[in-house]
Every structure is written in structure tokens, then in C-alpha cells.
A and B are shown apart, each in its own frame.
Chain A
């Protein structure tokens, strides 16, 4: 019988304690963010959508080889100095934001941005083409690019790492250590879509 009343007492007191805690929270400021109006500041290392700077990219294929889900598509024509890149696309349907492509990129062209909010209505629009539609191909070789006036001198403090063999295959023989350059061309959206950025990108 004593246990019976002890149970009742315990039930009532623990319930009241719990209710005190929840009641206290009424006065606390809510911790949630009102998303589209307030946004969290992403930390430095945040891995958002992958971005490729086409001025630096020399189509060495390492990122495509290293990608665990094969979401990077690189196509090029020709050999040696005459090699031209014809396509660089990333399929964000597949991308898993693992950052393996960025840390092995020897030109530093591929980076993780802080962008995370790209809702679309059709998955096919999540395939991003980074080549400029007005410019059909991009020369891959460094010397060719210098001839075209695309390059400035590389920064000295940055060591030029030799392209390491990617996971299972050696990189293409044509890869040249490409120096850094100011971005002359901006990336472009999925095929056939003119965007305001396009013109600006080419002129830069």
C-alpha cells in the first residue's frame, strides 16, 4: 500500500518537474532560423555545389577518374598541343559532395562552393555544362593558352605539383601543370540556355 502511494507521489512530482522545464522554454528565444529570410553562414570548409573554373581546367581527367560516383563528364579532341576540350559537365543528380575531386586537382580549378540551394523542377536540369556555348572548344595545353592571352604568370609561392596517377589509371599524357590565371570565362548553365552571365564571362 505504501508503494501504491509512493508511486502516485512519484508520478505527480516527476510530471510537475517535467512540466516546469517545458514551461521555462516558452520564455527562451527559439533556436530555429526562418529559412529563406535568415540563412546560416556557412563555414569556410563547407562543401556546397562543385564549381569548376574553366580557365584553369586543363582537362586532365583526374577528377572524373577519382569521382566515386562518376558524375563528371569530360570530353576532348586531338592530341598534344592541339588538344581541345569539348565538354565539361557535372551531373549533380549523382554528385555526393565528397570533395575528392577538389583535393586532387593539380590546377586548383575545381572547388567546392558555399552554394547549397539549387532546387529544380526537372532532374535533367541538374546536369551543368561548364563550357561556354559561344566557344565550342577550349584548348587544353598551356602553351596554346598563353598564345591566346589566357594566362598570366603563375604565382611563385604556389608549388606546381606534378599530376599524380589517379586512383586506377595514369592521367592523360597531355596534362600540363597549368598556372593560375584570372578567370576569363565564367561557367554556363545547362545547354542552350542564355544567361546574363554568358557575355560577361567571355569578355573577362
Chain B
């Protein structure tokens, strides 16, 4: 079924919860209010005409800095200064968070994308892990990396990072901590100079141009 037809079915079901349908560059996407996402997902899974038995992907998004005019670029990755101190950002963080759900039906072989958008202050979306089991881990990952809470999630712990980690790295205003658990986190840049001088190495000849390796 076409995405637009699915959206119309969905809008019929959840009423005000359906916020709009966009077609343009990329996949067609249906915006849904956070409050009705579980209803929407349950409907899409159980309805005969939709039958979305699999959630392909759940992606958390930090929309901060994303501007419809293409002006607000994504911030460049924050790393370390020459002295190994974490760089800081002056960004004001006021963008929304979003979650995109990509669904697929094995029987009807059609796809559909849902999207919810919540403000940075709220940062909480109802969980759909009761609808598809796979959402469990995807949501944990989104919580871990983006700090989006999933209300009602059975096991919302950090997944890829340690429980004691501070911050959510995929946020656009994330600042790398300088140490974690008494471990200094800055990378060692051997080519820069704060390192103590070393004795001359044992003649490491730089690689020659096209000296063939002999067999």
C-alpha cells in the first residue's frame, strides 16, 4: 500500500494524534503526536491492511541546529584541544528531539515511517517496546546516546556506555568529559609536542616509494 493511504488509515484511527504527512526528498514520513505513538504503532501492527510485523529501525534524532533553509549546519564534532583538553561549545541548545520509526510488513511488503517530535525540556516518548520487542534495545540505545526517555520502558538502562557515564554523546551540544572514573579520556597525540622528548629511535626508515615487497 502507498504510504499516503496508510497515513489516511492511521489518521482515521488516531484522529488528532496524526500531525501531518510529508513527501519530499527522502522517504515519506508521517508525524505523530508523542501521546498517540503507542496507539498508532499498535494499530499499524494489528490492522489487516497494514500488518507491520517488523520494526526495521528506531532512530533518535537531535534536531538542534537543523534548519529548513539549510543554514544551521550540524555542529562539527567536538574533540580535544592541542593540550588534550576537551573542547567546549558555546551553542545554545534549544532544538527538539525526534524519534523516527521505520516499519516493514513481511506479508504485504510495504514500508512506512513514523516520526515524533518532543521538546528538549520534555525529552520523553512513550515506549513501543510492548509492540515490537526489538524496540526495547533500540530505545535503550536512543536513551543512552541521546538522552530521550521512553516512558514505560521495562529496562531503560544505558546500553553502549557505562552506567556512570555523564551526558549523552549524540546530542549536538554534548561536551566530552575530561575524565571518567578517574581515567583521563583525552587521546594521546604523539605527533604534537606536549610529550616528553624521547631518545632517537632505532632508525625506523620511512616507507620507500614503491619498493615492492619481495615474495
Contact = CB atoms under 8 A, between A and B. Distances in A.
A and B touch in the complex (CB under 8 A): yes
Given A121-B202, A128-B204, A197-B205, 19 more contacts: A39-B215, A40-B215, A48-B207, A48-B213, A73-B191, A89-B191, A91-B189, A111-B209, A114-B211, A114-B212, A115-B207, A115-B208, A115-B213, A122-B201, A125-B202, A125-B204, A126-B190, A189-B203, A189-B206
A151 interface: no
Given A53-B209, A122-B198, A127-B191, A39 B204 contact: no
Interface string A174-186: 0000000001000
B215 A91 contact: no
Contact of A193 (B190, B201, B214): B201
Taking residues whose C-beta sits less than 8 angstroms from the other chain, chain B's interface range is: 20 to 34
A138 interface: no
Contacts of A19: none
Interface residues of A, number: 42
15 contacts: A39-B215, A49-B206, A51-B209, A91-B191, A113-B210, A115-B211, A116-B213, A122-B201, A123-B190, A124-B190, A188-B206, A190-B200, A193-B203, A195-B203, A197-B205
A39 B203 contact: no
Interface of chain A, main secondary structure: loop
A82 interface: no
